[in-house]
Structure 1
Amino acid sequence: MAPSPVTVRDAEGVRTLTVDRPERLNALDRQTLEALDAEFAAAAADASVRVVVLTGAGPKAFVAGADIAEMNQLDAIAAREFSLLGQRLMRRIERMPKPVVAAINGYALGGGLELAMACHLRIAADNARMGQPEINLGLAPGFGGTQRLLRLCGRAAALELCLLGTPIDAARAQELGLVNRVVPAAGLQAEVDALAARLAAAAPLALRAILDAVVVGGECPIEEGLQFETAQFALLFATEDMREGTSAFLEKRTPQFRNR
């Protein structure tokens, strides 16, 4: 059996998933998409996992895009299935009940940027390059790039990145709101580790409520989103973690959240 294109490492509530095809700049073929989908499903179901970090193997790329050699062989029907597979993975990540952090350690192009955009937080090395270069292949983004760019960065930036196909550097990506932070490449791991540890120590049920309110509520008219937020807020008052958090604040101590 061929080794999985995704490696898994667990440490103190943080599961790190690494796309491990450095010889192909971690390009997304069908096997890799399916492996990522399975790993994210497993992480969602595993109570010991509080946070997921997603990155790419090697010094050059997070994920440099979809596997062009594989795409070159697809007909229109197979291409539709490939697009739906990618979109299903991105939606699974976006709807994860636990925070997902993308550690962008190099090129994040095409499907790689679409993968990063599905994550909840994005930390980029200062030498990272990001873009949607599909136009240069006679293609359009197929894993949700047009829609998530529009929502994250606005119409002007989405059209510029998709129509011109020119990658941007990490500083420009931060200006556009495409990434949350930019750090020196040598410090990326430490920055992501510290962020993941902070999230892993937070109240899991409150994290899930916030993720649901932002992701689900953000797709609704504002009145529906506000009602959804109120429902999440009220439900947390039935949890032990809310009582622990408020008691710890009043008693001036560190809370011990138990995910219940």
Structure 2
Amino acid sequence: MTTQDLQIELRGAVALVRLARPAKRNALNDALILAIRDAFMAFPDSVRAAVVAGEGEHFCAGLDLSEIRERDAGEGMHHSRMWHAALQEVQYGRVPVIAALHGAVVGGGLELAAACHIRVADESAFYALPEGSRGIFVGGGGSVRIPRLVGVARMTDMMLTGRVYDAAEGERAGFAQYLVPRGEALARALALAERVAQNAPLTNYALMHALPRIAEQPADQGYLTEALMSAIVQSAPEAKDRVRAFLEGRAAKVSKS
């Protein structure tokens, strides 16, 4: 599961997936994208959550422009669809994924982060979509996922003007759900992943696969999908055991701490 540019470490029920091209600011090339796809397809059954991080000073500075070659329209479409298939394995795979963001979260790096379910950024993080100024367009699913995080108008502004968001602005805009001191993103992401890994697998699966689709359905369809998922999830033996533990006072109650 480990390649030259992608390092995978299993920490109990959590898989740490680390981009390992620090000399290139972890820029994404085809080999790395395919390695990400293969890694998320090959997790052992023991893995219940994953963390994506980057080595060095940056999470990911986007597409490796040094490896761009001229393509006709058909080749360009198939190349984009390859990225779509790879990041689909991140968003709609078997386990929840938490991104630990620092430094550059730019272009394709932001597309990768947007495919994750939770994003933790430290104070060094910054966000940009420079494709507009380079004469290209996002091709890794960014035009679908990023507006769902921050809105169409904000993404349009970023691509038209080259606007860069710093970590605090990005957290307020919705690029990340957590903002932590410099150097602490990975530790927080791992802690969150360990917590997520303790959930019932079927509940996590419903949150990953059903919730985003329900959000896009008309209300009457969403209610039906919700009812079906609720019935399926609560019928699992693990769910019944957890509810029983709560009713019998053996489970922790929700608290502010």
TM-score, normalised with respect to structure 1: 0.91
CA deviation after TM superposition for structure 1 residue 6, in Å: 0.9
Q: Which residue of 2 aligns with 1:219?
A: 216
Alignment of 1:138 onto 2:132: no
CA deviation after TM superposition for structure 1 residue 75, in Å: 4.3
* Structure 2: stretches of 5+ with no match in the other structure: 253-257
SS of equivalent to 2:210: helix
Q: 1:81 aligns with which of 78, 85, 95?
A: 78
Q: 2:119 aligns with which of 94, 118, 122?
A: 122
Q: Which residue of 1 aligns with 2:104?
A: 107
Cα 1:74–1:21, aligned 2, differ >3 Å: closer, same or farther? farther
2:184 maps to amino acid: G
Alignment of 1:199 onto 2:186: no
Cα 1:230–1:156, aligned 2, differ >3 Å: closer, same or farther? same
Alignment of 1:159 onto 2:148: no
Is 1:94–1:215's contact at 8 Å kept on the other side of the alignment? no
Q: Which residue of 2 aligns with 1:67?
A: 64
Is 1:28–1:111's contact at 8 Å kept on the other side of the alignment? yes
Identity of aligned residues (%): 32
Per-residue CA deviation, residues 50-89 of structure 1 (Å, 9 max, x unaligned), is: 001011111x211110110111444444332221111112
Q: Which residue of 1 aligns with 2:22?
A: 22
Alignment of 1:240 onto 2:237: yes
C-alpha separation in 2, matches of 1:210 and 1:161: 29
Alignment of 1:56 onto 2:44: no
Is 1:26–1:63's contact at 8 Å kept on the other side of the alignment? yes
Per-residue CA deviation, residues 166-219 of structure 1 (Å, 9 max, x unaligned), is: 221111111111210111122222211211111111111111112222122223
Which segment is superposed worse, 111-120 or 212-221? 212-221
C-alpha separation in 1, matches of 2:249 and 2:28: 48
C-alpha separation in 1, matches of 2:160 and 2:171: 20
C-alpha separation in 1, matches of 2:64 and 2:240: 49
* Structure 1: stretches of 5+ with no match in the other structure: 256-260
1:39 maps to amino acid: A
1:55 maps to amino acid: A
CA deviation after TM superposition for structure 1 residue 221, in Å: 2.1
Is 1:149–1:157's contact at 8 Å kept on the other side of the alignment? no
Per-residue CA deviation, residues 112-142 of structure 1 (Å, 9 max, x unaligned), is: 0000001011001111111111012111111
Per-residue CA deviation, residues 138-172 of structure 1 (Å, 9 max, x unaligned), is: 11111121222222111221211222222211111
C-alpha separation in 2, matches of 1:64 and 1:30: 15
SS of equivalent to 1:84: helix
CA deviation after TM superposition for structure 1 residue 39, in Å: 0.5
Is 1:97–1:212's contact at 8 Å kept on the other side of the alignment? no
CA deviation after TM superposition for structure 1 residue 5, in Å: 1.5
Cα 1:240–1:20, aligned 2, differ >3 Å: closer, same or farther? same
TM-score, normalised with respect to structure 2: 0.92
Is 1:132–1:145's contact at 8 Å kept on the other side of the alignment? no
Is 1:124–1:181's contact at 8 Å kept on the other side of the alignment? yes
Q: Which residue of 2 aligns with 1:258?
A: none
Cα 1:212–1:3, aligned 2, differ >3 Å: closer, same or farther? closer
Which segment is superposed worse, 232-241 or 6-15? 232-241
CA deviation after TM superposition for structure 1 residue 49, in Å: 0.6
CA deviation after TM superposition for structure 1 residue 11, in Å: 0.8
Is 2:53–2:186's contact at 8 Å kept on the other side of the alignment? no
